[in-house]
Chain A
Amino acid sequence: MNWEILGIWLGALVTLCLYSFLYRDNPFYKFAEHLFVGMSAGYWVIYTIENVLIPNWWLKMFPAEGGFNWVWLIPGIFALFMLARIVPKIAGLSRLSLGMIVGVGAGLSMVSFFQTNAMAQVKGTIFSVATGSAWDVFSSLVLVVGVVSGLVYFFFSKAHTGLFGKTANVGITILMVAFGASFGYTIMARISLLIGRCQFLLEDWLPTIPRLLGIGG
């Protein structure tokens, strides 16, 4: 059996099944959808065990050089608490784990979020707008006005009225212009994905049909 051709045919059939959704919902799409969801769920279970559970927990509790690190029992117990949801009487234990995850997640991301999304942005905006060519000056002004008016738009303690409201309107207008550019850029990337898929169907899959039927070279 030629495994390469089998792979190409499977890829092509699943692609066509998924594209059939463009017409309407149908059994072929449903099959591909369930296959995709089921296989990816199964894949991620194994992926998580192999790449998260074993290296980040099991091997740290029982290191390769021997011994037993009891401290790693603590995350293990928290993991068991999550499974307590299966038993209604002790389901409340899972809240301890969830609280830990949400709290640690919020705490850790707060620092990095603040550093990259606030401090670094402010630092990058403090510069002289009067350097370079006329175009450079214009670009710098757009940047500074865009940042400040954007911040005004996201200021929630004051109603968008009067001068404040007009500044906020400038902010949202600049944001929309940026979104438009981003939209066009991303659509181009999606079109290239579509082209890639069409190329697969036309150049990889289609030539296998005459080969299977014994027609041509």
Chain B
Amino acid sequence: MKNFSVFTVFLLLFTVGSSLAESTDLPESVVTEAAEESRVSKVVDLEASDTPEDAGGSVSLTWLMEIDGIVPDSLGVMRSDPSGEEVLITTLPWGTLMYNDQSVANGTEYSYWIVSYLGGNIEAASDRAEAVSSAQWIYRGRIGMLILLSLMAAIIIYYIESGKKGKKLYIREIAGLAAVEDAVGRATEMGKPVLYVPGIADMDDIQTIASIVILGRVARKTAEYGTSLLVPTSRSIVMSVAQEVVKEGYIQAGRPDAYNKENIQYLTDDQFGYAAGVDGIMIREKPAAIFLLGTFYAESLILAETGRSVGAIQIAGTAMPSQIPFFVAACDYTLIGEELFAASAYLSREPKLLGSLKGQDAAKLFFMILIVVGVIAATVGDYWSPLKSVAEFLRRLVTVN
């Protein structure tokens, strides 16, 4: 029942956002004017205006062409600034009816006119139009998304607060994560290190962030078991963050003395250079457990196959659809797509992460209901038109301009 209430609120707020977003449409063109057939057609009704809802630095030009007269070869967009300097900004093919000048400074008034070229000569010119560019704070085309994300944030905060107050937030078991402890334990028994590969993306990638959160938990486990943890990285910033996170894990486990900064090293930014380096580490160090969690591209199979060849237990996870098959084929456990993001919450059981996961589940439920209702409405709408408009309405809800 609670989930359906969430769905209803989603729907209401989204409707508001969607209708606001619709109001950003540009006006339609108007009527053309005729000209004498003996002269070259020129541009008429030139309008220059600040491009709406942007970060500034842009002026939008729209115009019409005379339909009578000699057709010009091309059009030249001319501009003059307050100092009087006239420049040709661009040349456009005949028939073009709009242009966006993105080479202007905010707060400066520019004057525009358009010339018609025939045989390389300027044969006609339009009247002038003036405009001043400015930046706007709000882009209404994304208000729907703002509302949805704000609502998600509100739900997440609600669940976080519930978790903090002691409410049990349930998350189903994720196969593979239960094996994390086994993997670290196996490495300890065999006296071999654990290798953690956080992918090849930088810290601005959400998968790397998720991977680093899991690394913290793995580091804590390795510290508790007294097992060596190797983390080769392909981004210098990831190395810095990984060092911080692993250090924190060792401190939490009460083993700061066991932390070795040198085990977390930068190899290279190059994709295959990194793959070659990690392969070398696998062959020489022969880790008993390998974690491949984060963003991976073509190097995924190279890493997973080498890890398999050294007999390590492998736990992999990525949200890259093209690489998941390789991990499924070559690793013992694979976290598919969003399971990677859920893994950090599952392992830590922290209210913050669990609340975030619960909020995402609410959004998923909303989208599932939206799809089912939308598909039924569209299908039945083929035979009963009122439902067709319901389907169109639902499609508009999820449209971002």
Contacts and interface: CB of A to CB of B under 8 A. Distances in A.
B203 A102 contact: yes
Interface stretch (A34-42, A59-67, A204-212): A34-42
Where chain B touches its partner, the secondary structure class is: helix
A68 interface: no
B338 interface: yes
B204 A101 contact: yes
Interface stretch (A2-10, A69-77, A180-188, A194-202): A180-188
Interface stretch (B41-49, B118-126, B220-228, B272-280): B272-280
A125 interface: yes
A133 interface: no
B365 interface: yes
A138 interface: no
B171 interface: yes
Interface in A105-120: 105-106, 108-111, 113-115, 118-120
Nearest to B377: A126
Nearest to A130: B379
B396 to A, nearest CB: 9
Contacts of B203: 98, 101-102, 105
A151 interface: yes
Interface residues of B, number: 69
B237 A151 contact: no
Interface string A151-169: 1101111111000000000
A156 B371 contact: no
A156 B276 contact: no
A154 B172 CA distance: 10
A82 B358 CA distance: 35
Interface in B267-324: 267-270, 272-274, 276-277, 279-280, 283-284, 301, 321-322, 324
Interface string B331-365: 00000111100100000000000000110010111
Nearest to A150: B337
B237 A101 contact: yes
Contacts of A178: 321
A144 interface: yes
A154 B378 CA distance: 25
A33 B206 contact: no
Contacts of A94: 240
A18 B273 CA distance: 12
Interface string B188-209: 0000000000000011111001
Nearest to B366: A122
A109 B205 contact: yes
B370 A130 contact: no
A19 B273 CA distance: 15
Nearest to A107: B204
Contacts of A108: 204
A-B pairs, 8 with minimum CB distance: A105-B204, A40-B270, A126-B374, A40-B273, A183-B325, A44-B269, A179-B325, A41-B268
Interface of A: 18, 21, 25, 29-30, 32-34, 36-41, 43-44, 47-48, 82, 85, 94-95, 98, 101-102, 104-106, 108-111, 113-115, 118-120, 122-123, 125-131, 144, 147-148, 151-152, 154-160, 172, 175-176, 178-180, 182-183, 186, 190
